[in-house]
Structures are given as C-alpha cells and as structure tokens.
Amino acid sequence: MAAQYDLLIVGAGPGGLAAAIAARALHLRAVVLDAGPRPGGQLLVNDTPILDCPGLDVATGSELAVRLQHHLERLGGHVRVNAPVERIDAAGGTVELAGERLVGTAILLATGATRRRLGVPGEADVPGRGLSPAARRFGPAFAGRPVVVVGGGDVALEEAALLARLCPRVTLVHRGSKLRARPDFRAAIAAEPRIDLHLETRLAAILGAPDVEGVLLAGPAGERHVEAAAVVVCAGMAPRSELVLGQVEVDGAGFVRVDARQRTSSPRLYAIGDVCAGAWWTVSAAIGQAGVAVKDFERRLAADEFAALLAPGPTFAPTGWEA
C-alpha cells in the first residue's frame, strides 16, 4: 500500500504540535491524531508559567497550547481531535483508529507520559487522592489542614514546599534512604518546620470515604496512621508507549530509546518528548526534538532512503494537506 501521508504524528502535546508546524513549513503531507477533545496534551493541566521557551512568555500551559494551535492553523494545518489511536505498526508505517487505517512513510510518536500511580487502596485520579501536581491548583482547598506528599524528587519537594505555606503540617514520604531532588529543594525542605520527612517509608493506603481522613504508612518501625485531608503522589512518570511495545527498543521503565536524531530502533518510527528515554520533562526540549526529528525525516525522504521500506501498491493522491 502506498503512503497516504509523509508523516503520521501521534499525540498533540507541545512536541506533536511543534512537529506538525515544522512539517507544514517543509511542505510535508502530515496528519496529527490526538485522543483528547483539545490539542495541548499535558499543557492543558499546567496552570503555571512556561518559562523555558524563548519568545513564548505565557502565563499557563493552556495559553501556549492555544498559541501553538493557532500557529499551525495559520500555516493551513489542523489537528484531528477525539481520534484515539488503537494500534501502531511501526515496521509497516500504519496507524489504526476506529474504522480507519492510515499509512505513512514514517510515524512520529509524541504520546508523552503520565503520572505514575502507586496502586494502593484509596488512590484515585481526583484532587486529594493522588493527583499531582496539585499545590497550585488545589492547595487552597486544603488550607489549614494536614496533607501528605509522596516522593523524593524535584516535583515532590516543590509540592511539599508550596503546600507548607498553606497547611499546618505536611508529611513528606519517600521510600528511599535519601531524597533525589536538587540541593536547593532539599535545603528548603530541611529549613521548613511544618514539613515532617519520613524516609524508607511507603504509602500503604489512603483512608476515608468520600473525603480523605488519613493515610497508612509502612516504615522501619512498622505501620502507623497519619491524619491527612489530602494526599499528593509524585512517584515519577510512566511512558505512554504501550502502542509500540515489542516493536522498538525501550528501557527498563518502558521509555522509548532514541538517538540524537530522535530515531528509534524501527526505521520508520521517530519518538519525541516525554515518551523517550532520558526525557528532560520540559516543553522546550519536546519542541526542539520535534524540529530535529522532522528535519531528519525530510532529509531522508529527499534522499529516497525510505524506498526500500515501502511496500508497492497503488498511488494515493491526497485531496489536501492535513495536520
């Protein structure tokens, strides 16, 4: 089957949108597919300023998502929303969604990552029961009451410090023997008397229904009950790589391995952003990787490097460019 598109872009977060913009600028035939009702991905739940994108000084992630979408539309492209991808065939260059099968010369995976769940009793993706990040969005709702934060990295310590401004006691729980966060974050936690740090301790359960009443912690001294009105879980990220597992090389946590040009071990698949091994978790990194991947693809396409990978079939004449 001949390629319907040059590039199939799966995911409309900042990386996917940037890839679509770059593809449009290079006059590539591309389509962007996203499961959500609006383009933007994780930007849509980021209510803090985006400070790492030169020339894009925006107050919230949602604002940046709108700017990227408008930029794409000005170039004549758009995003297909409410279009969840059900299957990817990396070697065949195909993407399947409800009642439709698209074929591309290459696929660009920009599906990102999601907050990792602990899987303990009482945990849920709602404010106060594990949702993270939460301090800026939901902190005022728990002002004046004790809260629990789980994790030992930058995000966990930042959440704990922010919540300590509003709450009389913040219990910070980390299963390791030392915190992984950057030194200035660790110093801020040590200097805050309202934060109680518990190392080598894990969250065993979130108690109370419908409202959180406390948690059960398991540590060196055994189990103990701690009063809490909310729990914020910052246990790292899980890649949204399930569509390509078994088709490309991934690391031990399931993040897709890429080279300096964002190529994966499958010749027709690129990956960018938070789904990649060694991701920097920044918007600017995802946008930069999008430009690298699309330019590398365009050069390979011009050099006819994909000819041997494409199965013969009838020529498809698209009615217009999609992105």
Closest CA to 95 of 179, 10, 6: 10
Q: Is 101 a member of any domain? A: yes
Domain membership flag for residue 12: yes
Q: Residue 317: inside a domain, yes or no? A: no
Q: How far is CA 266 from CA 4, 9, 53, 91, 226, in A?
A: 19, 15, 30, 6, 49
Residues 72 and 161 in one domain: no
- Taking the CA of residue 238 as centre, how many other CA atoms within 13 Å lie in the half-sphere pointing to its CB? 8
Domain boundary, last residue among 182, 216, 233: 233
Specify if 289 maps to a domain: yes
Domain count, the chain: 2
Cα separation, 50 vs 39, whole angstroms? 17
Task: Say whether both 103 and 241 belong to one domain.
Answer: yes
Give how far Cα 45 sits from Cα of 85, 126, 129, 140, 261, Å: 21, 13, 17, 17, 29
Kindly state whether residues 191 and 247 are assigned to the same domain. Answer: no
Between CA 292 and CA 8 the distance in angstroms is: 16
- Look at residue 51 in the predicted model and tell me its pLDDT: 82
Residue 224 is predicted with a pLDDT of 94
- State whether 162 and 213 are in the same domain: yes
Among the candidates 214, 233, 252, a domain finishes at 233
Name, in order, each residue with C-beta under 8 angstroms of 51's C-beta and a sequence gap of 6 or more.
57
Residues 217 and 242 in one domain: no
pLDDT reported for residue 319: 34
At residue 313, the pLDDT reads: 45
**Structural domain contains residue 315:** no
From first to last of its 323 residues, the chain has per-residue pLDDT tens of 556 999 999 999 999 999 999 999 999 999 999 999 999 998 887 777 888 888 888 888 899 999 999 999 999 988 999 999 999 999 999 999 988 999 999 999 999 998 888 889 988 867 677 766 667 677 788 899 999 999 999 889 988 999 999 999 999 999 999 998 989 999 999 999 999 999 999 999 999 988 899 999 999 989 999 999 999 998 888 899 999 999 999 999 999 999 999 999 999 999 999 999 998 888 999 999 999 999 999 999 999 999 888 755 433 333 334 44
Last residue in a domain, options 205, 233, 261: 233
Residues 109 and 139 both lie in one domain: no
- Do 123 and 220 sit in the same domain of this protein? yes
Q: Are residues 266 and 228 in the same domain?
A: no
Backbone angles phi, psi at 216, to 5 degrees: -110, 120
Q: Give the strand pairing for 269-271 and 195-198.
A: unpaired
Do both 199 and 127 map to the same domain? yes
- Containing structural domain, residue 172: 117-233
CATH number at residue 18: 3.50.50.60
